[in-house]
Amino acid sequence: MGEPATIPKPVKFLFGGLSGMGATCFVQPLDLVKTRMQVAKSDGGARVSSISVLMGVAKNEGIATLYNGLSAGLLRQATYTTTRLGIYTWLFEKFSSPDGKPPGFLMKAGMGMAAGASGAFVGTPAEVALIRMTSDGSLPKEMQRNYKSVVDALLRIYKEEGLTTLWRGATPTMGRAMVVNAAQLATYSQAKQFILGTGHIKDGIFCHFVASMISGLVTTIASMPVDIAKTRLQSMKYVDGKPEYKGAVDVLTKVVKNEGFFSLWKGFTPYYFRLGPHTVITFIILEQMNIAYKKHVLGIEGGSGGL
C-alpha cells in the first residue's frame, strides 16, 4: 500500500499566503489604528480609545486613509504568512503519527516558533514599510515620508537609509513571531482538538471560528509587549544622528518607566479585534482551501483542513 495522498508543499505555501492576504483586506483599518496607538507617546494623561483614533483618522484624513499601507500589508502576508503557514502545515503533517493523530501541544508550540521565526525574517522588509505607512499620518507634516506604495517605500528606504534598514527590528519581529505563532498556531490546533473532543461541535466553519477566537485572545495577551517594541523600533526617527531607542529591551524599559506598565498593552482592543478576525478569516480560508483541494484534486471526501 502506497503513501497516503497529501497536499504538495508548494500548494501549502500558496494557500497559507492567500488565506493571510484575504484576511488582511478585512482588518487593515484596525492594523492602522493599532499602529497609531502604539507609536503615540503617553504622558500619563487620559488614554485614547480605539474608537476615537478610528474616528479621528476618518474625520481628519479621510476614510481612505484607513487603508493606508494595504499594499504593504498584502506583501507582508504574501511573504510572512506564506512562509509561516506553509512551514507549519508541512511540519504538522510530518510529525503527525501514521494513524493521523496530531503532535502534542509542546511539539505544536515548537513548530509554531520555528515557522514564525522563518516567516518573520522573510517578511520584515514589508513589515517595516507597513509600520511606516500606517503611522505616517500621526507625524508632523515636515516629518511625514508620504510613501506612494509599498514598492516606493522599500525602494526609498533602501536608497535613503541603506539595505539593513529594511531589516530594522528583525530581532523583536522574529521574537514576536515566535510568541505569536507558538500561541496562535498551537492554541488553535489544541482548541480545535478540544472542541471536537467534546462531541458537541462538528468539524466545520463554526468549530474553526470558536478555535480561532480562543487562539486570538491568548496570542494578543502574550505578544503585545513584543509588538510594541517592534513597532516603536521600526517607526523611530533619528534625533541629531542618534536613534531614539537602542533596542527592544530599551523600548520596553522606557515605555514602562515613562508611560506605565500597562502601556505595554496599549492598543489591546484594536490589536485583538484585528488579530481575532484575522485569525478567524485566515484559518477558515486555509481550512476550506485544504478541504476543497483534498476533495477535488486528491479525491479525499470528508477530510478535515489538516490543522
pLDDT per residue over 207-242, tens digit each?
A: 888 888 888 888 888 888 888 888 888 888 777 778
Q: How is domain 9-296 classified at the architecture level of CATH?
A: Alpha/alpha barrel (1.50)
The pLDDT assigned to 37 comes to 84
Tell me how far apart the alpha carbons of residues 46 and 65 are, in angstroms, rounded to a whole number.
25
Q: Which residues contact 18 (CB under 8 A, 6 or more apart)?
A: 285, 289
pLDDT (tens digit per residue) in 84-97: 888 988 898 888 88
Using alpha carbons only, give the angle 66, 71, 74 rounded to the nearest 5 degrees: 105
Q: Which residues contact 75 (CB under 8 A, 6 or more apart)?
A: 126, 129, 150
Distances in whole angstroms, Cα of residue 303 to Cα of each of 1, 8, 135: 20, 16, 43
* Highest averaged pLDDT of the listed ranges 90-94, 150-154, 174-178: 150-154
pLDDT (tens digit per residue) in 12-70: 889 988 998 999 998 898 888 888 887 876 655 556 778 888 899 999 999 989 998 89
Mean pLDDT of 276-287: 83
Mean pLDDT of 97-122: 88
Among the listed ranges 20-29, 161-170, 177-186, which one has the minimum average pLDDT value? 177-186
The pLDDT assigned to 2 comes to 45
* pTM for this predicted structure: 0.68
pLDDT grade for 1, boundaries at 50, 70 and 90: very low
Half-sphere exposure of 295 (CA within 13 A, CB side): 11
